[in-house]
Amino acid sequence: MLDNLVLGFSTALTPENLLWCFVGVLIGTVVGVLPGLGSTTGVAVLLPLTLSLEPVTGLIMLAGIYYGSQYGGTITSVLISTPGEASSVVTTLDGYQMARQGRAGAALAISAIGSFVAAIISLGLLVALAPPFARFALDFGPPEMLAVMILGLATIVSFAGDNRALGLLMALTGLLISTVGVEPGSGTSRFTFHSIYLLGGVPFVEVMIGLFAVGEVLYQIREGAAAPIRAGFRELLISKADLKRSAAPILRGSFLGFLFGILPGAGSTLASFMAYGIEKRVSKRGHEFGTGAIEGVAAPESANNAAANANFVPTLTLGIPGGATTAVLLGAFMINGIQPGPLLFDEQPALVWGLLASFFIGNVILLVLNLPLAPVFAQILRVPYGYMYPMILLTSLVGAYSISNSMYSVWVVLIFGIIGYFMKRLDLPMAPLVLGLVLGPLFEKALVQTSAIGDGNIGIVFTRPLALAVMALAIIQIVAPSLMARLLRRRNSSRARKADQAAEDKTEEHSHG
Amino acid sequence: MSAHIRLHPCKEGVPLKRTRSTVLATTSILALSLAACGGGADSADDSSGSFTPRGDVTMIVPFGAGGGSDRAGRATATMIEAADKDASVNVENREGGSGAVGYSTFLGKNGDAQTLLATETALLALPLSGEVEFDYTDFTPIMKLGDDYTLMIVPADSPYETCTDVVDAAENERITAGISGITGLDNIVFTLTEQETGVEFDRVPFESGGELTAALLGGQIDIASLNPGEIIGQLESGDVKALCAYSEERYSDYEELADIETAKEQGIDVAFAQFRGVLAPGGIADAAKDYWVSTLEKAVGTDEYKTYIEDNYLQANTASGDDFTEYLKGNNELLKQVLEG
């Protein structure tokens, strides 16, 4: 183990690899910031450029883009409520509120610190325990994934906002939109109206850009430009109290993110939503969530970073991609003539350990880069919105076009921009819609597969222990709040009765005395 | 294992040299101006006499970066540049709708001999699904580069040793077969096996070779049919075993695969290949077609071609120009028979 780490660091610390690691995380940050340009697109577009480098150097850079974008995706979520990555959608809920209160600097700083801590924890787990975790992930077959998806959908209740029914309605709308396209089982096309573009379904990245970025701009234009936020220098820095409040959420988010990250397909978006939902439950300040609670930024940001790293567990140990971006990275291995798979660690130790060591280095670079820059980025909010809005619109549309080099994406962004505007006016929560849209295809796939494996019987979810355990969690997630509320009420009322009793006794004593 | 490939990632971008400092400078610029990539090439139709491409040629890949189709497209671009030193080829990924978006874009390039497409079985499977407006006769087949067959794979602890064992077992018990899609090569060979032997496999749909591998290792499915390139890592580590190859002949060029019997040797008369090839748009001048056919004939003689074939465990069965068209015709009939039952 120690030999391997020494080998890894000696590979990663060559001047050339250091340089490209730096370039990678820097580009990753930029890619993360730009809406639409997610890490998958970023890695795919820059992959060809790395072919002129040594394989290990190229992979170090591409991986840097991947985890760097997890840092960058937060910046616009917090500042202008425009998530750069799907996994940062949930960060807008509290991050943007913090920015409106002049605390953007603190929000950005905590997300950098949270991401860093999560990265180090998840990398430690990755280095020490990757093979057993990979075996564990293999036990998650379709029935288990179906249970995980139900658990994911169950979290909607916890961040639906004040009106739970509206939240569920929006999640359902997201699920419905996700049914457009080719059905995974039989290959039948649904709601495609003979358009080849709709065969692939309604792409959620474009929907996200439309709802959040374009929708927000349209809404703000109607509201009349808000005054630029001028925060004092002190407010830009993160306080000790902030750090103290965030410590536990960061740790919980890191471990949760890691667990979700090793499951192929579940990925960092679900991890961030789950972390937020759970934090809202367990936090003493759960009621402050949605109004600018720093825990609401710390937890999901740690979770998505941990999940991004955990995605490398199946990728490196089994040669099975954990998510969309690691799938492209796996392609990069193969273009370089390296065969990913169980023998990778034995056959290419310098490459694998060099890559893993570069993750540590890259994350240190990202922390050093992001922490001092947090207050600087926060200054962007001083730019009058009259200048900012056209910039947001431009980057949104250009970003959308770049996803698949096609105008179809641009139209999706514009249409959902208008939908987003009306949703804002009607006060409909958008996060559940995005979650429904992201989980929809995964949920359906797991459902179809489970039914196929069970020969038409999806009841096997309840006969496999692991699936059953996850289902139990999902059920607890749904019924716990109302159960807790009822218990609390009963306890309160019995306490109140006792208090009344005591008071009565006292008065009786008095009257007697 | 040459990683040094000349690339033109962005036509309008800064010309890319191999020096690393330039790459550094251009990467950051490119990261900021990604959307500047793409765009149409100016057509260089020369109806009289000879044809040579003017400026950059675009190679459309109808699938995402990093996949099998992408690797084929990028390798072909390199081969063409090796075969004609003056040519320069940009790869452009146009993904969506299982390839439908890329092929439909290509249909719009009718007569534009500056554009090529990295083709495979989706060219035939998509039209048979009835969702698209093209079929293979709308394009000009240039060269078939090679065949990718599948191997029937089971987990290492599976009781089966041959494909015949699996077929025999399927007569009495339920065998679950993972497939990567209705028009996937794996579903096609399973269907052919069923038609040949009269047994039935229960399908469980997945979306990629990676997912199928995970399901096999996790014991979620009994069998899968995967390209050698997709499963070689697990084969060499001994986590899975290959029961037979659905190919005409054994993989005798590859030491690590040479011992795998063909399905035919085991008495199941099924072989079906996913081809890889190059298409030009329909309606191009004869001179342009001649240029591309002769350039690709030269390309398959290069070292770059050999590296591509070997790295991806393909069988180097080529067919150029009209021979490729004939092949497509026959393959299309067979596919129709499978998909329409």
- Residue A313 near residue A261, CB atoms below 8 Å: yes
Contact flag B31-A42 (C-beta cutoff 8 Å)? yes
- Taking only residues 219 to 278 of chain B, the set having a beta carbon closer than 8 angstroms to any beta carbon of chain A reads 219-221, 229, 232-234, 236-237, 239
Contacts of B30 in chain A (CB under 8 A): 45-46, 49
Which domains occur in chain B, in start order?
20-24+49-148+274-339 (3.40.190.150), 151-245 (3.40.190.10)
Partnered with residue B176 across adjacent β-strands are B202
- Taking only residues 195 to 224 of chain A, the set having a beta carbon closer than 8 angstroms to any beta carbon of chain B reads 196-197, 199-200
DSSP string of B3-54? --------TTSPPPPSSHHHHHHHHHHHHHTGGGS--PPPP----SS-----
Q: What is the largest CA-CA distance in chain A?
A: 97
Half-sphere exposure of B176 (CA within 13 A, CB side): 20
B27 compared with B315, residue with greater pLDDT: B315
How many angstroms away from the CA of A34 is the closest CA of chain B? Answer: 9
Low-confidence ranges of chain A (pLDDT < 70): 1, 36, 158-162, 225-227, 230-235, 265-266, 481, 495-513
Closest CA to A431 of A241, A159, A197: A159
Closest chain B residue to A44, measured at CA: B65
- State the CB neighbour count (10 A cutoff) for residue A204: 26
Contact flag B66-A453 (C-beta cutoff 8 Å)? no
Size of chain A in residues: 513
**B108 close to A (CB below 8 A):** no
Q: What is the interface pTM, i.e. ipTM, of the complex?
A: 0.82
Domain ranges of chain A: 2-463
Closest chain A residue to B61, measured at CA: A404
Task: Give A320's DSSP letter.
Answer: -
What is the C-alpha to C-alpha distance for residues A117 and A421, in angstroms, rounded to an integer?
Answer: 36
Buried-state track A126-139, b at ≥16 Cβ within 10 A, e below 16? bbeebeebbeebbe
pLDDT band with cut points at 50, 70 and 90 for residue B98: confident
Closest CA to A310 of A368, A248, A266: A266
- Taking only residues 71 to 110 of chain A, the set having a beta carbon closer than 8 angstroms to any beta carbon of chain B reads none
**A255 close to B (CB below 8 A):** no
**B85 close to A (CB below 8 A):** no
- State the CB neighbour count (10 A cutoff) for residue B40: 12
Most confident segment among A302-316, B43-57, B96-110: A302-316
- Identify the pLDDT of residue A133: 81
Quote the tokens at residue B218.
Answer: 């996790």
pLDDT band with cut points at 50, 70 and 90 for residue B28: very low
How many angstroms away from the CA of A460 is the closest CA of chain B? Answer: 12
- Identify the pLDDT of residue B341: 62
What is the C-alpha to C-alpha distance for residues A297 and A181, in angstroms, rounded to an integer?
Answer: 34
Please provide the average confidence, as pLDDT, over all residues in chain B: 84
- Residue A180 near residue A444, CB atoms below 8 Å: no
Tokens 């940001």 belong to A301
Cα B341 to Cα B98, B124, B335: the distances in Å are 21, 16, 10
| C-alpha torsion sign, points A91, A96, A102, A108 | positive
- Identify the pLDDT of residue B29: 40
- Identify the pLDDT of residue A262: 87
Give the tens place of pLDDT for each residue, B200-234. 999 998 888 888 998 999 999 999 999 998 899 89
Mean pLDDT of B294-321: 93
pLDDT band with cut points at 50, 70 and 90 for residue B25: very low
Closest CA to B73 of B97, B50, B91, B100: B91
- Identify the pLDDT of residue A504: 59
The type of residue at A416 is: F
Give the tens place of pLDDT for each residue, B125-138. 889 877 788 999 99
Contacts of A448 in chain B (CB under 8 A): 205
Partnered with residue A189 across adjacent β-strands are A182
**pLDDT for residue B318 is more than 90:** yes
- Residue A210 near residue A413, CB atoms below 8 Å: yes
How many angstroms away from the CA of B49 is the closest CA of chain A? Answer: 35
Contact flag B66-A318 (C-beta cutoff 8 Å)? no
Partnered with residue B241 across adjacent β-strands are B154
What is the C-alpha to C-alpha distance for residues A207 and A416, in angstroms, rounded to an integer?
Answer: 6
**Kind and range of the H or E run holding B89:** strand B89-93
Q: Which among A16, A51, A399 has the least Cβ separation from residue B5?
A: A51
Q: Which among B97, B207, B210 has the least Cβ separation from residue A199?
A: B97
Residue A422 CA from chain centroid, whole number: 25
pLDDT band with cut points at 50, 70 and 90 for residue B288: very high
SS3 B178: strand
What is the C-alpha to C-alpha distance for residues B165 and B163, in angstroms, rounded to an integer?
Answer: 5
**pLDDT for residue B18 is more than 50:** no
**pLDDT for residue B113 is more than 90:** yes
Give the tens place of pLDDT for each residue, B60-96. 998 877 778 888 998 999 999 999 999 899 888 887 7
- Identify the pLDDT of residue B31: 40
What is the C-alpha to C-alpha distance for residues B196 and B268, in angstroms, rounded to an integer?
Answer: 7
